[in-house]
Amino acid sequence: MSEYGEWIKVTIEDGIATIRLDRPKMNPIDADVQESLGRAAADIAADESVRVAIITGGDKVFAAGADIKEMQAFDYVDMVERAHLIQDAYRALAELPIPTIAAIEGYALGGGCELAMTCDFRVASKEATLGQPEILLGLIPGAGGTQRLVRLVGQSKAKDLVFSGRFVKADEALEIGLVDELVDAGTAYEAALERARTYAKMPRIALRFAKELINRSADVDLATGLATESQLFAGLFATKDREIGMASFVEHGPGKARFEGR
Summarize pLDDT for 18-38 with one digit per residue, the tens: 999 999 989 999 989 999 999
Check whether residue 150 and residue 241 sit in a common domain.
Answer: no
Q: DSSP readout, 101-121?
A: EEEE-SEEETHHHHHHHTSSE
Q: Is residue 260 part of a domain?
A: no
Q: How far apart are CA 21 and CA 32, in angstroms?
A: 12
Short-list 6, 27, 8, CA closest to 19: 8
> What is the pLDDT at residue 114?
97
Give, for 19, the enclosing helix (H) or strand (E): strand 16-21
Q: How many domains does the chain have?
A: 2
Instruction: Find out whether 17 and 53 touch, Cβ atoms under 8 Å.
Output: yes
Q: Identify residue 128 by its one-letter amino acid code.
A: A
Q: Is residue 29 part of a domain?
A: yes
Check whether residue 233 and residue 169 sit in a common domain.
Answer: no
Check whether residue 165 and residue 209 sit in a common domain.
Answer: no
Strand partners, 16: 13, 52
Give, for 13, the enclosing helix (H) or strand (E): strand 8-13
Check whether residue 220 and residue 166 sit in a common domain.
Answer: no
Give, for 219, the enclosing helix (H) or strand (E): none
Note down the domain range covering 216. Answer: 204-252
Check whether residue 42 and residue 123 sit in a common domain.
Answer: yes
> What is the per-residue pLDDT across 132-167, written as a single tens digit (0 to 9) for each?
999 999 999 999 999 999 999 999 999 999 999 999
Check whether residue 177 and residue 227 sit in a common domain.
Answer: no
Q: Is residue 261 part of a domain?
A: no
Check whether residue 84 and residue 151 sit in a common domain.
Answer: yes
CATH code of the domain containing 225: 1.10.12.10
> What is the per-residue pLDDT across 193-229, written as a single tens digit (0 to 9) for each?
999 999 999 999 999 999 999 999 988 999 999 999 9
Q: Is residue 258 part of a domain?
A: no
Give the domain-ending residue among 177, 200, 223.
200
Instruction: Find out whether 194 and 158 touch, Cβ atoms under 8 Å.
Output: no
Give, for 36, the enclosing helix (H) or strand (E): helix 31-46
Residues belonging to the active site: 114, 134
Check whether residue 133 and residue 239 sit in a common domain.
Answer: no
* Mean pLDDT value across the chain: 94
CATH code of the domain containing 18: 3.90.226.10
